[in-house]
Amino acid sequence: MLEKIELDIIVEHKKDGRAVPKTILWDDGRKFSIDKVLDVRQAAALRCGGIGTRYICKIYGKEVAIFDEEGKWFIEK
């Protein structure tokens, strides 16, 4: 099983209840703006375990899956 990398995320909360991730903040100070959210759905993190909301995001032209598991954000390594 692979590892979960916990993330700090800047999130915009819409009045209809949607949470839209905007920026990933790494522990070392790097920031990555999320250019576009391509897909949002309930899904399992198949490689490292866990279930929550999966966001497929476009970041610098690359598709990245980030997960929100009850308010705790992570990616799979």
Look at residues 67, 74, 72, 38 and name the one whose alpha carbon lies nearest to residue 52: 67
Q: What is the tens place of the pLDDT at every residue in 4-51?
A: 899 999 999 999 999 999 999 999 999 999 999 999 999 877 666 677
What is the model's pLDDT at position 51? 77
What is the model's pLDDT at position 39? 97
Rounded CA separation 27/39 (Å) = 26
DSSP assignment of 3-70, as one string? Answer: -EEEEEEEEEEPTTS-EEEEEEE-TTS-EEE--EEEEEEEEE-TTT--EEEEEEEEETTEEEEEEEET
What is the model's pLDDT at position 1? 56
